[in-house]
Amino acid sequence: MCGIIGYTGKSHAEKIMLDALELLEYRGYDSAGIALLHQGGTEILKCTGRVKDLRNLCALKKPEGFCGIGHTRWATHGGVCDANAHPHRFGRITLIHNGIIENYRELTEKYALEGHLRSETDSEVVAAVVEHFYAGDPYSAIRRTVLKLKGTFALAIMFDDQPGKIYAVRNVSPIVAALTGDGAILSSDVAAIVPFTTDYFVVPEFHVACLKPDGIELYDLSGDQAKIDWLKVDWDVSRSGKGGYPFYMEKEIMEQPEVIRETIQPRIRDGRPDFSQEQIPDEILSGCRRICVIACGTAMHAGLVGKSLIQAMIGIHVDVVMASEFMYNDPVVDKNTLVIAISQSGETIDTLEALKFARKCGSPSISIVNVKGASIARASEYVIYTNAGPEIAVASTKAYTTQLAVLYLLTARMAMARGLWSDEKLSDFMKELQRVPEVLERVLETKEEIHRLSGTILNARDVFMIGRGLDYSILLEGSLKLKEVSYIHSEAHASGELKHGTIALITEDTPVIAVVTQEKLKSKELSNIREVQSRGARVLLLIKENETLDEGEKWSCVYRLPKMEDPFMVMPASVVLQLIAYYVSLDKGLDVDKPRNLAKVVTVE
Ligand code: M6R
């Protein structure tokens, strides 16, 4: 959470930082600020609100300088106000921070800071501690400060008497750095670096990077120079903009056929699933007795679909655990448990910590991550990258369907490794998987019809979503999508559970979205739909195109999904639910890409 940027070089730092903060705004948008270090001293401009508000402030104050740091905040410690916005300044130190300093109270006491701080943030405390230790050697002050900190941090620091230099250090929270051609840049993720270069490196934990106009130096905490491991952004850089769509969410929904193709094609050889590029040995897939998926939010919902697939097709037990709860339920994982961590950003701290714990217990691990080189990818034994490209909208869409695509591939490879399927069955499964992109294209061609159907819930206060089995799993994701971008209260329910309590809430004012795609569950699902209809609910039904419906019944709203084999129906149904959420948010005039209170990358527990 929080976007951080730093630039030093020959260009005007203010412009570079404002442009970068706009690209990073999806990481947090409570307040924004920049600081410029120049001959006349350090100048800070910050305000609550969005980067556009900061831009207006800058247009008024016209700050100048060639070395600066900037921040867009997702509030943790201290409310949303100008004083709590970053950068923070104490004595000769100016600093921005992403993360949480758990022992900030003890530090406040130890260094007698009470009464000297201007904000309520843990970050200002860090600036004060750096100031305390600073006696002309930035490395020594940073080293001594870092040894006192408990918690997570990505820090970019400027010292008044070190013109043109930005120092960076981190624990858990990410920082990447690069050369721009006329200077050096650092950021919390590559989104802000891509306009300058595709070569970058991840600042290793507990190392100090020093950015200067003519290069970058890296040192470990004992003061020894460290080697920089350069990486290459392998996104199609043209994917970074909105591509003519009003919001990233729509663009990312529309990209799904293409990015699913790009995720599955390189992993199919001779018609079979192939993870040799990832060097994943078959033994890890054949040897485990159970699987534990750890993930949060949308990624966890992908895991639930994976559970249904693997249990049904491989016959081994799969637990899907909310990463944020993993540690608090005395997890039972061991060398016979394959842990699969799923994360778009690869930085979600709950998932990262759960993964590290599982590895300590001896579990083999595979992560499914979208961002190359991210912490979760580096912390796991094997990694499978989803080739979704940058996902900027806070609401996850293409990351989810590419995670599903990887889970289908893994299921098939597991079946192969265990000798469970005939060649014919494997070939049918893989052919169906390869049909997904074209099926999604068909759904996307009907987006205007889906837009019209979304009107049926536009003014609802509450929406219920019902289904069974796989249909229930995708509704959990559909419901999350709707509530996060439209602010409509929505709940997904296993339809058989309704009569155990929730049906009391169903009235003519609670529209219900029902998904019926699983042949073996159809008649039960339709009975549950009749139960809510007879309580007055208007039902929007998503059902396969070939299913016959009783003409005598009141089917006012039906969307016909292109037919796939049942395990794959998740794909078209999910895209319809994504579009419904998108259009409701759009028609309510909301900021679709940046829903309130949220951030794209969740690096706080
Ligand atoms: O980056 P991750 O996939 O680990 O993020 C996990 C969740 O925070 C994320 O999926 C969140 O639920 C989505 N942005 C919701 O659309």
* Residue 466 pLDDT: 96
| Listed residues 204, 233, 262: the one ending a domain | 233
Q: How far apart are CA 320 and CA 110, in angstroms?
A: 43
Number of domains in the chain: 3
Exactly one of 165, 307, 481, 600 is catalytic; name it. Answer: 600
In a domain, 596, yes or no: no
Quote the percentage of the chain above a pLDDT of 70: 98
Residue 298 CA, closest ligand 1 atom number: 10
- The CATH number linked to 407 is 3.40.50.10490
What is the CA(397)–ligand 1 centre distance, in A? 10
Residue among 249, 321, 342, 344 to mutate when testing ligand 1 (max atoms within 8 A of CB) = 344
* Residue 183 pLDDT: 97
Give me the chain's average pLDDT, please.
Answer: 94
Residue 301 CA, closest ligand 1 atom number: 10
The CB of 348 under 6 Å from ligand 1? The reply is: yes
**Is the model's pLDDT at 238 over the cut of 80?**
no
In a domain, 482, yes or no: yes
Residue 87: asked if its preceding bond is cis (omega within 30°), the reply is yes
The CB of 298 under 6 Å from ligand 1? The reply is: yes
* Residue 236 pLDDT: 66
> Do 411 and 494 fall within a single domain?
no
> Do 100 and 189 fall within a single domain?
yes
* Residue 74 pLDDT: 84
> Do 414 and 506 fall within a single domain?
no
Residues with Cβ within 8 Å of residue 72, at least 6 apart in sequence: 2, 3, 21, 24, 25, 27, 28, 29, 31, 32, 51
CB 92 within 8 A of CB 161: yes
Locate 502 and state its tokens: 């929730």
The CB of 388 under 6 Å from ligand 1? The reply is: no
The CB of 296 under 6 Å from ligand 1? The reply is: yes
* Residue 553 pLDDT: 67
CB 168 within 8 A of CB 155: yes
What would the pLDDT profile of 546-571 be if each residue is shown by its tens digit?
A: 888 876 666 779 999 999 999 999 99
Number of residues written out for the chain = 605
Q: How would residue 604 be classed by pLDDT, with cut points 50, 70 and 90? A: confident
What is the CA(395)–ligand 1 centre distance, in A? 8
What's the alpha-carbon Rg for the chain, to the nearest Å?
25
In a domain, 179, yes or no: yes
**Is the model's pLDDT at 26 over the cut of 90?**
no
Active site residue 47: no
**Mean pLDDT score, 392-417:** 97
Q: Between 369 and 329, whose confidence is greater? A: 369
Q: Which class for 83: exposed (0-12), middle (13-18), buried (19 or more C-beta within 10 A)?
A: middle
> Do 476 and 416 fall within a single domain?
no
**Mean pLDDT score, 128-147:** 97
* Residue 550 pLDDT: 77
> Do 227 and 359 fall within a single domain?
no
* Residue 593 pLDDT: 93
- The CATH number linked to 94 is 3.60.20.10
What is the CA(175)–ligand 1 centre distance, in A? 20
How far lies 210's CA from each of 16, 138, 228, 304, in Å?
19, 10, 12, 43
* Residue 303 pLDDT: 98
Active site residue 2: yes
> Do 244 and 227 fall within a single domain?
no
**Is the model's pLDDT at 293 over the cut of 70?**
yes
**Is the model's pLDDT at 235 over the cut of 90?**
no
Q: What is the pTM of this model?
A: 0.84
- Least confident piece of the model among 365-374, 428-437, 564-573: 365-374
Q: How would residue 70 be classed by pLDDT, with cut points 50, 70 and 90? A: very high
